[in-house]
Amino acid sequence: MKATPSATRRTFGHLPDGRAVEAVTLTQTNGMSATILAWGATLQAMLVPDREGTLADVTLGHATLGDYLASDAYFGASVGRVANRIAGGRFILDGEAYRVPANNGSNALHGGPVGFDRALWTIAAVGAAPQPMVRLAHVSPDGDQGFPGTLHVTATYTLTDAGELAIEYAARTDRPTLVNLTNHAYWNLAGEGGVEGAMDHVLAIPAEHFLPTDEAAIPTGEFAPVAGTPFDFREPTAIGARVRDAGHPQIAIGRGYDHNWVIARTRAAEPRLLAALAHPGSGRSLAVFSTEPGVQFYSGNFLGGTLVGKAGKAYRQGDGIALEPQMFPDTPNRPDFGSVRLAPGETYRHRVILRFGGES
């Protein structure tokens, strides 16, 4: 019997100051479901059927709010104001210098130490029809983490009957500011907590170029061809086949993959394919579509067994991989990369579609 589409709310936990953190679970007719937390507008669980129809949770995450509060891995979180790294935590906007506190060596990562992933968002809307959805809202005040302008942000998750989780980020500001939002889910299509990890997954990225980085993971500015390198995923390739190829200096620097692939040089009006992931053993697949021009592929290089997942297993190196649609890292300091500037009267929008499948 097919399930009835639904959107249900419950209390996931309480913050130290007593505020409740709710969880909303969206469920579709085939049993597929997504659970979103108000803490960090976080995708906490994603149940997807395999080729036999068996459901498994395919995204890494924690079972308790306390574990999320203690973690710095960004599992499933909505990150911002500016995803990825800003070199030195410094940028100039409209001739004025700003600084974001460093939280990744000397750099600012994912909006600084108290970014959107560390905020309790408000649940603004929940609905079951025509498709299960939840909209979360957050107000980032002027000067938050050093960024100018009061920013009003929403994150809308919709679970469709076509096997898709659609995420739309929107933002408006009262002063010129910077915005580059994304979701930081980690994927293991075999099921989180599985003993094999995600290195047997087959990945395709339709990009001719990637962005090499220095030893601090800041792009050098070069748009390097992927041809003839371990970064060539134009044909589907097992992640584990080249992830330890330390003969390539970029693999050695990143201890694996932690780079941005260049799908295009500008944003698109409609989501386009950024990456396709498949797990041959289960038949599960994931295609990532986005309106942004880049995708950060991170192969879980720094998962060191210190974080415990929902299945009660310690997450180790390679147990999950992230595919983060976004503008390019350090764009605020590199005009040739484009712009993440948002002005009053404009609306920032980033649309992501995560399309799941269970092929035979």
Q: What is the pLDDT of residue 3?
A: 74
Active site residues: 184, 324
Q: What is the pLDDT of residue 166?
A: 98
| 172: β partners | 152
290 in a structural domain: yes
184 in a structural domain: yes
22 in a structural domain: yes
Residue identified by tokens 């994931």 is 286
Number of domains within the chain: 1
52 closest CA partner among 359, 287, 272, 332: 359
For residues 357 and 355, give the distance between their C-alpha atoms in angstroms, rounded to a whole number: 7
Q: What is the pLDDT of residue 196?
A: 84
1 in a structural domain: no
114 in a structural domain: yes
CATH number at residue 38: 2.70.98.10
Q: What is the pLDDT of residue 120?
A: 98
For residues 231 and 13, give the distance between their C-alpha atoms in angstroms, rounded to a whole number: 41
Q: What is the pLDDT of residue 163?
A: 94
215 in a structural domain: yes
Domain extent, residue 346, equals: 6-358
For residues 182 and 40, give the distance between their C-alpha atoms in angstroms, rounded to a whole number: 12
pTM score of the predicted model: 0.97
Per-residue pLDDT reduced to its tens digit, 266-278: 999 999 999 999 9
Given a cut of 70, the residues of the chain with pLDDT beneath it are 1, 360
